[in-house]
Each structure stands twice: as structure tokens, then as C-alpha cells.
Amino acid sequence: MLVVAGLSYGTIWWGRGLLHDSEIPIQKTLFASTSPQRVLVFFAHPDDEIAVGGTLNLLKNEGHMIYMVYVTQGENGPTGDLVSQELLGATRKNEMQQVANFLNAEALEILNFPDSGLKHLPLELFEKLAQEMIEKYRPDYVISYDSEVGLYGHPDHRAVSKGMENYYLANIGKVDFPVKQLFQVTLCSKQIQVALQLAPGFQRNYPKVGNGLPKPDFSIRTTRFFRDLEQMMEMHATQQEVFKDLLPYKDQVPSYVYARIFDREYFHKVRR
């Protein structure tokens, strides 16, 4: 038993060293507030929230109010051989509703813009959409992907996040603007290198030129919410193949070990 425990600890220690940058500070929570805050999650596709699923469960546990907006139904994604392509959009809406219920979300909106077609639409459309959602839900904080890469290179992610970023930067500091901070989901440099070796989606789509993902300002330790994250992933039944990029080899490593290796989520604070 002691040998097994020692091997597990050694694996965790090795995995953390491989994946995480010890110089990036770990915060106990996303923001310092003892009173309930309004948090808007603003993404392109149902399931994009999985990248910050641990943090969202932390916010739920802390009693904050979560509002979730998705610009597409994700109708052009993989079906998992569970439904026809024609039914995928409606199916993913139902899957996302399960996740929103699990998180006790105050509201869920899934819009009907074309999945994998957002790059063909004007950026002003997403800036206007960001304005509408902020005026509607009056969030204190907003979570999106980054605007340069879109986490792993998806143009839909970039378009939606750039629209939110532009609107935020144009209005932050105004008296009637409610948002205190826009947080963008990112990865540390070690995670990027591992993803480029192990994840086909990153290998195909991560840009070969440019600055890459924004450097994290901090991370959130999410170990205690790993089982909640797994349940959220299970609710997105059609997208199991996609999650292999996000959490490689998860089906081959005991959950208690995996939860302590993939144990934090990284964020960048958008500034002027």
C-alpha cells in the first residue's frame, strides 16, 4: 500500500512539474468578494465552459450568480455517433441546459449564429452582442476565451472573444459600466507545449506565428471540483471526443491522480 501511495505521489509531483509554472500565483478564488457577484460566461459553443468548469463550480459553491451566453448551437461539431448532424444543434442545447442546471445558473442563452462560420461575420456584430448581454445581465465580472488564439486556434472563439474584449476596453471605467474585470481563459507555457505534443486539435490549429496565448496572471486550484467537472463533461455526451484534447489520457489515469495533476485553471486579466 505504501509503495502504491508513493508511486501515486511521484506521478502527481512529476505531472505538476510537467504542466504547471510555479511562478504563476495560485488564487483561492476568482475575485475577492464576500457578497454575491454576477458573473457572465460568454462563449461561442456549448461545452466551451468545460475549460473553466472547476472555477465555475467554485463560483457556484461561493454563492455567486452565473449567467451563460453561447453564440452558436455547435451544430457543426462531432455527433459522437449519438444523433444525426441535423439534430446536433438541438441536442447540444439540451446538453448545455443540463450543465446550466447543474451550475444553478441564473440564465442560459444559446443563440443561432452559424457554428464555424463566425469569422465571416463583421466584428461589430459581436461587439454589439457583448453590449446587449452586459446591458441585459449587468455582470460584475465576465469570463471569455482570449481574442488572439481562442484557446487552441478556433476562429469562432477568437471572433466572440474579440467582440467582448473590444466592448470592455471601450467602456471600462465609465460610471454606468458594471463590469469590474474581464477574465480570459488561457494556459501556461508548459501546458501549451504538452498540448502541442499530445492534442491533435492543438497541433492542427494553434498558430505557428504571433504571440500565442496571453500570459496568465494567476491560476485557480480546482482539485476539489474535479468530479463536478467530470459530471459536466458527461452531460455533453456528444462531445466526448473533443474532450480528449482538453484532458488527454484521462481515461487511462485514476481520477484521484488526474485531479491532482490537472489541478488548476489559468486566467488573464484584460487591461488597457
- Where do runs of H (alpha helix) occur along 103-239? 123-137, 150-153, 155-171, 189-198, 200-205, 226-235
> Is the pTM value of this prediction over 0.85?
yes
Residue recorded with cell 466584428: 123
Q: Is the dihedral of CA 80, 84, 88, 92 positive or negative?
A: negative
Q: Cell triple for residue 93?
A: 442545447
> For residue 192, what pLDDT is reported?
95
**pLDDT (tens digit per residue) in 117-168:** 999 999 999 999 999 999 999 999 999 999 999 999 999 999 999 999 999 9
Contact at 8 Å (CB) between 156 and 119?
yes
Residue recorded with cell 472563439: 157
Our count of domains for the chain comes to: 1
Torsion of CA 16, 21, 22, 28, to 10 degrees: -80
Nearest to 171 by CA among 183, 179, 159: 179
Task: For residue 195, give its domain range.
Answer: 2-269
Which residues of the chain have a pLDDT value below 70? 1-7
**pLDDT (tens digit per residue) in 166-195:** 999 999 999 999 999 999 999 999 999 999
Determine how β-strand 107-113 pairs with β-strand 65-72. Answer: parallel
> For residue 252, what pLDDT is reported?
87
Q: Could you tell me the CATH number of the domain that includes residue 202? A: 3.40.50.10320
